[in-house]
Amino acid sequence: MGLRKGLKRYGLVAIAVPGLVLLTAISTLADASPSPSGSPSGSPSGAALPGDPTNGQSVYQQNCTTCHGSSLEGSIGPSLNPIAHLPGVANPLDPTYLIDTITNGRIPASGPQMPAWKGKLSDKDIQDVAAFIIQQNQIGGENVPLPQGELAKRTIFWVGVGIIAMVFVTYLLAQYNMRWIARRAAARRR
């Protein structure tokens, strides 16, 4: 009778641990999914762009990739797709805000300074870069790779979960095996 009770307890735990891991994985993936509309909150998907996003992509690739990455993923500067939500900025995809920031730069409370591009780029090029950033955020960031820090955190988390799960399963198997050995030894003594 005691053996059946022990096996039920181990069976329940053997089912609960993978279930917990599965629920954690689902909740993590749900947190990382893009918004259902494909456009960030506060950004109307049908709004007119302030410039030509095709030219904006070209200007961006020539001038902005050093700080913001080739896929707008961020590096020295913040991520532009999905666009980083900065303190004190209601809608970072507002064309007026983007054009002003690109034109005049930005000095954040901490971190690197955004240089002013006034005089280095034409007003049309600045508007085109803003249009490119807005368009890329409206399309969505499904194909943008995770930043290195976030990728490392997720990798460490899931490797840790895997190691803990393997140790636990090993413990369960060892307990079962020790009981099996004890039963075999008792059967031989009879």
- Is the same domain home to 95 and 158? no
In this predicted structure, what is the pLDDT of residue 41? Answer: 41
- Is the same domain home to 158 and 174? yes
Which two tokens mark 58? 């070209």
Residue at 68 is within a domain = yes
Closest C-alpha to 72, from 43, 108, 111, 98: 98
Q: What percent of the chain has pLDDT over 70?
A: 79
Cis peptide before 36 (omega within 30 of 0): no
- Is the same domain home to 57 and 136? yes
In this predicted structure, what is the pLDDT of residue 117? Answer: 93
CA angle 69, 71, 73 (to 5 degrees): 60
Q: Which of 3-7, 12-16, 55-59, 112-116 has the lowest mean pLDDT?
A: 3-7
Contact 81, 141 (CB under 8 A): yes
- Is the same domain home to 134 and 173? no
In this predicted structure, what is the pLDDT of residue 148? Answer: 73
Residue at 38 is within a domain = no
Residue at 113 is within a domain = yes
Kindly report the pTM of this predicted structure.
Answer: 0.52
Q: Cα dist. 146→114, 154, 186 in Å?
A: 22, 10, 57
Q: What CATH code is carried by the domain that includes residue 123?
A: 1.10.760.10
Report which secondary-structure segment, H or E, holds 181.
Answer: helix 148-189
- Is the same domain home to 115 and 184? no
Residue at 39 is within a domain = no
pLDDT top residue among 6 and 154: 154
Residue at 156 is within a domain = yes
- Is the same domain home to 70 and 137? yes
| pLDDT tens figures, 114-139 | 899 999 999 999 999 999 999 988 88
| pLDDT tens figures, 27-50 | 666 555 444 444 444 444 456 889
In this predicted structure, what is the pLDDT of residue 34? Answer: 46
Task: Look up residue 69 and give its amino acid.
Answer: G
- Is the same domain home to 102 and 137? yes
- Is the same domain home to 127 and 155? no
Return the bridge partners of 118, or none: 121
**Structural domain tally of the chain?**
2
In this predicted structure, what is the pLDDT of residue 47? Answer: 62
Q: Compute and round to an integer the Cα radius of gyration of the chain.
A: 27
Contact 153, 74 (CB under 8 A): no
Residue at 47 is within a domain = no
Residues 68, 80: Cα–Cα separation, whole Å? 7
Residue 187 confidence (pLDDT) above 70 = yes
- Is the same domain home to 163 and 182? yes
Which domain range does residue 121 map to?
A: 53-141
- Is the same domain home to 60 and 110? yes
